Structure formats: C-alpha cells, structure tokens
Amino acid sequence: MWFHIEPCCSYHLLNSFEDGNEIVVRGCKANVAIIPGPGWGEDKFDWFSRGFSFKPDSSDNENGHKATENGLLFTSVREWRLNMDTQEVKERDLTGTEYSMDFPMINADFTGLKHKYGYTQVIDSHASSKSEEQLKEHSNHGEWNIKMEHHWLPEKNFCSGSAFVAKPEAVDEDDGWIVTFAHDEDSDISYVLVLDAKKFQGEPIAKINLPQRVPYGHHGSFFSLQKRALEAI
C-alpha cells in the first residue's frame, strides 16, 4: 500500500504506532538532504550555517517548498497520519520554525506504541547541538496538542549523542533520565550530563567531567552493565 505525502527528506523517525484505523508516523523532516553536493560550493561550513537558519520566503522552490537557500536544511518534527481504509494522509508540523531539531528519541519501552513524550536536540551548525528539547503531547477537548520544553546548556556548551534511560522501577513514560555527551568550548572539557526527564528544565542531576575530549557525534546509546550481565546468563 502506497501513501502520497508532501516531498521531503527524513533521516530519523521518532516513533510510529496504530491509532484506530490510522498509522501515525512521527519523524524529523527537512526539505533537502543534509549531504552537500558540488553545486553548493567549497565552503561547507557556510552551507550548513545558512541551511539551518530558517528564513521563510513567499516564493516556492522547484520542489514546491516555501524556503530559500537559507533554511533548506531546517528540520522540524512532522506527523503523518496514514488512513489504512482510504489511503488519505493527514500531515502536521509539531514543532514550528523557531528552532531546527533532529536526532529524536523516546522511552524505548514505548517503541511502536502510542506515546506522550519525545526528545530531540536543537541543532546549532556552529558545533553540534546546544540544548535538549522535550515534546509533550496533551489532550485539549479531544484535540492533541504539543507542548515544548527546553533545557538550555551554558553559552559555548554543545551536546550530542543523547539517550533516554528509564529508571529501574519506572511507572510513568517519563520516569527516567536524559544522558548526553557535552563539550565546553572555552575550557575544552568534555562531560556527561544527566537530566531528570520529569524535571526537564531543572538543574542537571549530574555533570561528570571526562579525562579527554569527546568529539561531537550524532547518535548515542546507553547500555546497562547489569542488564547485559543478566542477558548473558
């Protein structure tokens, strides 16, 4: 079964789940691929900086998207609702145009299930990502809306490679921690940052300085030694 959606580029999905006769797909959507081609010139830093800077334009480009060269790489969280009976698709943007964001994650226990919370990284082309962002879905008279919360890092501190770690005795979906690598550009110190997902905008639970620089990356995973030991038995 094929579904027709607005042309876009998506590398990372947040989650997908069944909702009645619809399949709901949520992921990060951009207008073009992030991989630069020869036509964009030799200065790739300039290309990325302009690409992530959203500046809307009233004119359509060749793909029908209202975006100029500034903002072509701007990434937001998109929802596609695929009707399995009619093949109709309903699309909506969940995060607006204030910040570009990507590398989404959820509590892995809710993969393939209806979820309330999602987490992304705000993209800053000068380094990697400058904050963590929490997306919280809530119902208002039958309509599902999105509330966004931010945890901003100090100036010239950037994070990458985040993961959601559920608490051992978790009850709620957001019972857990956000764990991420971060780097201070001024002190040249890399560290691990731990945030309480239930108090997302609050002070970090822990900040662990590392003995050497951790380069900026894209993806992160958390592996419990206790869990791995149990699986090996």
Q: Residue 138 has what pLDDT?
A: 52
- 2-31 pLDDT, tens digit per residue, is 999 999 889 899 999 999 999 999 999 988
- 26-75 pLDDT, tens digit per residue, is 999 988 777 766 666 666 666 666 666 665 544 444 444 444 456 677 88
Pick the more confident residue, 207 or 67.
207
As a whole number, the mean pLDDT across the chain is 81
Q: Residue 136 has what pLDDT?
A: 61
In this structure, what DSSP letter does residue 116 have? S
Q: Which stretch of 61-75, 92-106, 172-186, 194-208 has the lowest confidence by average pLDDT?
A: 61-75
Fill in the amino acid letter for 198: K
Pick the more confident residue, 74 or 174.
174
**Sequence-separated (6 or more) residues with CB below 8 Å from residue 71:** 31, 50, 51, 52, 53, 54, 55, 56
| High-pLDDT (> 90) share of the chain, % | 45
pLDDT at 108 over 50: yes
Separation in Å, CA 52 to CA 2, 96, 100, 114, 180: 31, 14, 7, 30, 22
Q: Residue 124 has what pLDDT?
A: 65
Pick the more confident residue, 132 or 118.
118
